[in-house]
Amino acid sequence: MSVKNECFLLKLFNCNILRNGKIIKEDLWVRNGKIVDPEKIFYDEKIDPDDKIDCQNCIISPGYIDVQINGGYGIDFTHNVENVEEGINIVAKKLLAHGVTSFCPTLVTSPTETYKKVLPKIKKQEGGEHGATVLGVHIEGPFISVNKKGAHQELHIKGFPDGFKTLMDMYGSLENVSYITLAPEIDNACDVIKELIKQNVKVSLGHSIANLKQGEDAVKAGATFITHLFNAMLPFHHRDPGLVGLLTSDQIPKDKIIHFGIIADGVHTHPAALRIAHRTHPDGLVLVTDAISALGLAEGRHRLGQFDIDVRFGRAYIAKTETLCGSTADMATCVRIFKEATGCSVVEALEAATLHPARSLGIENKKGVLDFGADADFIMLNESLEVLSTWIAGKRVYCNIKSLTDELNQLARQ
């Protein structure tokens, strides 16, 4: 289907739409790349749609949003310094097959030269047939704890001796940055957080040995996110629960939601831990892939930032070690694993990859929802939550021919 002009009106019917915390049987109307209110069309404009699509009772969800992804399909955003734009475009296009319509390319701990070369080249841009929307860079490091460095090279890990100046000297610019992950226990961290918030950059806490008090102080300074909960932080302890305790802290302002990323790839987080996180603070849970360059590729030797990576039996390790270092799972798979592990509803599973990441970024008025006036970025799913097609700005940018054929054949047999 091709849009004839900017006023082209599309009606999707026989669909089950995720809207306002429910899946409802309702038509979806799209015009000018936005979701439109059909009542105004019926009663005010009194016009018919230019085209109609029978959705065969599939689920229509907002497109998935991945706020932490290091690369995929042989591309590592940190390592591919000379061909950054090409790498971003390749991954953005491939992500459409997994229902991802927006993402934050993520850079791991690196020398300052890398940031100054890469950051200016990863510009925020709207998605389309060329690929998913780039929402801004998520910089993970180098201001983290050497004790919880994970797959971050210790040589390049830094503190804040000169506060915010140290950060700016490291990155060069924050123009294309949406998120920064840092360890709140580092000296001057809270002052840096306050300045980042003034610069409209979101702050996430992670790769840290912070205690709960240090985490709470960081939140009061403006931090709003926790990077891959349970991973690269102190384990929960009943006398000081560390950053995990932020999920139930009574020191968090009542009007503030702490969001937290969690990797539901069947490797990084045990199903019981997924259940604990979901039942403790469901509104803050954000599914992330933390995917690396090996996403979509065969097992073997790959790259993440400064390290060689070995993928063995579906797990990614720093080469010649047993240290986990990112995921090889796509977002659609994470949604299905999360739902199965927690026993949550379809709505809860989908909102963890749509509404919640949008809220964490403060863009829920246009992304992660199917409200009237929002961007028409959505996906069609079957009952097993497999992606049938992906749409950006009301245009179909990916179609899973095999799944779609299977669905139609099944309907024909009924």
Instruction: Judge if 255 and 177 occupy the same domain.
Output: yes
Instruction: Judge if 293 and 409 occupy the same domain.
Output: no
* 290 has catalytic annotation: yes
Instruction: Judge if 232 and 331 occupy the same domain.
Output: yes
Instruction: Judge if 22 and 88 occupy the same domain.
Output: no
Instruction: Judge if 263 and 139 occupy the same domain.
Output: yes
Instruction: Judge if 356 and 263 occupy the same domain.
Output: yes
Instruction: Judge if 124 and 82 occupy the same domain.
Output: yes
Angle at 230 between CA 191 and CA 136, to 5 degrees: 55
Closest CA to 117 of 175, 171, 176, 181: 171
The alpha carbon of 392 is separated from its chain's Cα centroid by a whole number of angstroms, namely: 16
The answer to whether the annotation marks 297 as part of a ligand binding site is no
Which one from 66, 76, 265, 290 is the annotated catalytic residue?
A: 290
Q: How far apart are CA 302 and CA 309, in angstroms?
A: 5
In this predicted structure, what is the pLDDT of residue 4? Answer: 44
The answer to whether the annotation marks 231 as part of a ligand binding site is yes
Q: How far apart are CA 326 and CA 303, in angstroms?
A: 11
Instruction: Judge if 45 and 104 occupy the same domain.
Output: no
Q: How far apart are CA 126 and CA 140, in angstroms?
A: 23
CATH number at residue 16: 2.30.40.10
Look at residue 306 and tell me if it is in a domain: yes
Look up the domain containing 388 and give its range.
Answer: 9-62+370-413
Closest CA to 377 of 346, 354, 356: 354
Q: pLDDT tens digit string along 155-167?
A: 999 999 999 999 9
Residues, the chain: 414
Among the candidates 361, 378, 404, a domain finishes at 361
> What is the phi-psi region of residue 300: left when phi exceeds 0, alpha when psi lies from -120 to 50, beta otherwise?
left
Our count of domains for the chain comes to 2
In this predicted structure, what is the pLDDT of residue 406? Answer: 61
Instruction: Judge if 37 and 70 occupy the same domain.
Output: no
Instruction: Judge if 262 and 375 occupy the same domain.
Output: no
CATH number at residue 282: 3.20.20.140
The stretch 7-25 carries a mean pLDDT of 95
The answer to whether the annotation marks 374 as part of a ligand binding site is no
Q: pLDDT tens digit string along 352-388?
A: 999 999 999 999 999 999 999 999 999 999 999 999 9
pLDDT at 404 over 70: no
Instruction: Judge if 238 and 353 occupy the same domain.
Output: yes
Task: With cut-offs at 50, 70 and 90, classify the pLDDT of residue 393.
Answer: very high
Q: pLDDT tens digit string along 204-261?
A: 999 999 999 999 999 999 999 999 999 999 999 999 999 999 999 999 988 899 999 9
**Contact between 115 and 107 (Cβ < 8 Å):** yes
In this predicted structure, what is the pLDDT of residue 367? Answer: 98
Closest CA to 70 of 52, 45, 95, 51: 95
Look at residue 1 and tell me if it is in a domain: no
The more confidently predicted of residues 409 and 72 is 72
- Tally the C-alpha atoms within 13 A of residue 382's C-alpha that lie toward its C-beta: 16
The answer to whether the annotation marks 55 as part of a ligand binding site is no
Instruction: Judge if 41 and 184 occupy the same domain.
Output: no
Q: pLDDT tens digit string along 40-87?
A: 877 676 677 889 999 999 999 999 999 999 999 989 999 877 889 999
**Contact between 105 and 134 (Cβ < 8 Å):** yes
In this predicted structure, what is the pLDDT of residue 1? Answer: 40
